[in-house]
Structure formats: structure tokens, C-alpha cells
Copies of this chain bind each other. A is one copy, B any other.
Amino acid sequence: MVQIRKPVAVKEALELLMAHVPAPRAETAALADSYGRILAEPVVASHDVPPFHRAPYDGFAIRSEDSGGAGEHRRISFRVVGHIGAGQMPARELGEGEAVRIMTGAPLPPNADAVVMLEQAAEDGQGFAIRKPFRAWENVSLRGEDARAGEVLVEQGNLIHPGVVALLATFGYASVRVARKPVVGLMTTGTELLRVHEPLAPGKIRDSNGPMIAAQLARLGIPSRSYGFVRDDLDQAFELVRRALRETDCVITTGGVSVGDYDYLPAIYERLGAKVLFNKVAMRPGSVTTVAVWEGKFLFGLSGNPSACYVGFEIFARPALLRMMGSRKPYLPHTQAVLTEDFTKPNPFTRFVRAVYRHDGSRPTVAPAGFNKSNAVSSIARSNALMVLPGGSRGFRRGAIVDVLLPGTEEGEAEWRIP
């Protein structure tokens, strides 16, 4: 018998899912290992940046008042009375008409308020002359102009990217509180499946979903543990899922969520007493995507079809896992682009098409990445985007503006496009 399931809209399914995310847990990471982690504390300025009035160029520090009236035909000379390298402290205040040679990054003498760049100075034996007046604080990096002590510069929940690492280093965070990464258990169902090192056999195919999901997790910096294949035995499958749930923070299965004779996952959720949040989503591919919760842990039941599995992970597992780490930005990057070919398949449900997104120099474009069926695997490899076509439409024409999600933009451009 065919069980009738009521499809929920993608947005509604996401809301249900996100409402069940457990609170994030924190741990400490060394600064050198912090790239890609999510901040579990804000980055707070522990001092002004710069911490002192600083020379932004190599040159001469002067008192601007001594430069008044200088011009092309009225040069004003300065005596150089000292030298301040970066990291050195000025020896004393400047007297009238005095200057110190100063290097980029060095602190100005207490009463200096301008820097004459080397190329603005006509040097002679004991000093130099200038041909223009300098305003107060001209060519000076002012204390605190970049950041003020006490300022919150990056909120918790943001990703630690190289710029955040630079700030952490500036403020002496030798270590930083970051979100603990969830450990994800992976399990594959399907008696037709072979492991990657096994030779192909009649009626069989090699499992691609397990390695693919492990890579999708790796893209998010999340470790996974493989629990292997679930075979045709409900009791054994149930025990394996229960073991994985005890040992990990979240379990992702592929296959077995449909209504076929060997689709055991619904029975497993029932035996566990897990709460099924949804078991049918108004989307293609991946309509069978099921999410259940058991003792605060998610069970993601993804389709066994590769494209459906890929999409189910990116649309549901990704934001849930990132939110489990306290991320402020858990959803896929979004943009829009011009469709460059007709897509005439009608869409009863929202369709996520594996697609190639690029900027062609004048506009962003998107087109399906070849063969578009839920069991396709080659189109995932060829795509760098998911093109989103809303449900209830009769197809889309070339030239339409469509939504685009960008699960992975690890790759750059073949050409340098800046003139």
C-alpha cells in the first residue's frame, strides 16, 4: 500500500527544523587552529588601534605649526635631531624647527603632529626643506582611528576568516572560544551498494552518497564517522542507528525513507520513539527528505538518489549543523542570475536544479549543469550552484531572472577579469 504523506513547503520545513536546534557548546582553540571555526565569544578591542599616533609613511615628524607659510618660493628648513624606527620610542619633544626622521609604524614624538613624507622633503646635509605647509595631523595615523578600546569588533556566531584572525592576533587572543563541532554519524542503506574498492557486479553500483556527504561536511569543517551500510534487516538497522545516536551528535542516513519494501527508516524512527518533524517536502529533488529528533539529536533521512541526497543535505542538514554551532549565517549564500537556456519542465514543487553559475563579464548567468534527474551524479560534479525554480510554474524561459544558491564557491576564475 502507498502511504500518503502531506508535503510541507521548504520554508516551513526549515522553520520546524531550526526550532529544534540544540544550544551550541563552546571549546577553546589556539589562534593558529582557529581559521574556519565559529566564534563563541565576541572579538573585543583590548586597546586602541593604532595604540599611539603613528607614522603611516617613512619621513620626518614635525610640528605642523612650524610649517606655516611654506611654499614653492618660500621653503622652510628643518633640523633633523633624531631618528625613530618602528618599535622605538621618541627620545624627547621637538623644539621649534626641529624634526626627527621617522619610519613607517613608529610613534610620533609627543608634540609632533605631522609627517613629511620622504618624497615631500628636499634633503640636505643636516636636514631638509619643505615647499608646502602641513595641516595638523597631516600624514598621521591617529591613535584609535581603526578601533577603540572596548569596542566589539566581531560578534559571536561569525566565522573566523583571515581578517578575523588578524584582529584576534592584534588583541592578543592566543586562543579563542569557538563553537564545538558536532560529530556526525553517516549510514547508507541499499542492498545494491558496493564500497568504493569493490569491483562492479551485476545489479550493483558503488555507494557515492556516503563519500559525498562526508565531503559536504568537510566543506563545513565538520568531522564525520561512517557507520557503513545498513542491510536488509530491520533489527540490525535499528541497533546500528541507536549506536550511532549514542556516539554522535547527529545521524545522517541515505536511502530507506521512501515507501518501498525495504525502506526501514520510518519503522526505525517509530521504534526509537523519535519525533518526525516532516517526511515529505514540496521540493524536487529530495521530496522524501525526512527529519526526526530523538533526545535533542537530529536524524536526517536523506534520499538515496545522489542529486536528491546532495540537495537535501545542503538545504536542511547544512543550516541545522551551522546553527548547532551558533552560526549567525547558516543558510546557503543567495544571489540571482539570468537563466541562459529554457527550462520547460513544469514545477509542481520548488525545484533545485544543479547548475553552473558565473558572471560573464556583464551579468551573472546560470544554466542547468547537464543531466537533471534526482538519481544523476554527473550533474552534481559539474555544478557550482543550485538554481531555484518556484513551484506552481509551467517552466522558465531563457532570460528569466532566477534565484541561485551557492553551496560551494571554493573555485575561482580561469581568467583575471579586471582591466
Contacts and interface: CB of A to CB of B under 8 A. Distances in A.
Contacts of A209: 166
A336 interface: yes
Interface in A9-52: 10-11, 14, 31-32, 34-36, 43, 47, 49-52
Interface string A406-419: 10111111111111
A295 to B, nearest CB: 27
Contacts of A261: 58, 83, 85, 101, 103
B210 A169 contact: yes
Instruction: Return the 3 tightest CB-CB contacts between A and B, nearest first.
Output: A87-B192, A163-B380, A87-B191
A408 to B, nearest CB: 5
Contacts of A319: 412, 416
A170 B206 contact: yes
A376 B209 CA distance: 45
B58 A331 contact: no
A322 B169 CA distance: 26
Copies of this protein, total:
2
Contacts of A196: 31, 168-169, 172-174
A208 B103 contact: no
Contacts of A190: 86-87, 105
Residue in A11, A123, A411 with the greatest tally of chain B CB atoms within 10 Å: A411
A362 B401 CA distance: 10
Given A14-B416, A85-B232, A377 B206 contact: no
Interface string A67-101: 00000000000000001011111000000000001
B86 A262 contact: yes
Size category of the binding interface on chain A: 35 or more
A234 interface: no
Residue in A101, A174, A388 with the greatest tally of chain B CB atoms within 10 Å: A174
A52 B198 CA distance: 17
A374 to B, nearest CB: 8
A340 interface: no
A397 interface: no
Contacts of A409: 333, 406, 409
Given A106-B203, A166-B208, A49 B378 contact: yes
A218 to B, nearest CB: 4
A347 interface: no
B371 A214 contact: no
A212 B169 contact: yes
B105 A304 contact: yes
Given A119-B2, A166-B380, A260 B58 contact: yes
Residue in A56, A169, A216, A322 with the greatest tally of chain B CB atoms within 10 Å: A169
A163 B35 contact: no
A414 B331 contact: yes
21 contacts: A86-B262, A87-B192, A104-B304, A106-B203, A118-B259, A146-B379, A153-B378, A160-B215, A161-B410, A162-B219, A162-B310, A165-B214, A169-B207, A171-B206, A172-B200, A329-B412, A330-B412, A331-B417, A333-B413, A364-B364, A406-B409
Interface in A126-167: 141, 145-147, 153-154, 158-167
A282 to B, nearest CB: 12
A308 to B, nearest CB: 11
A297 interface: no
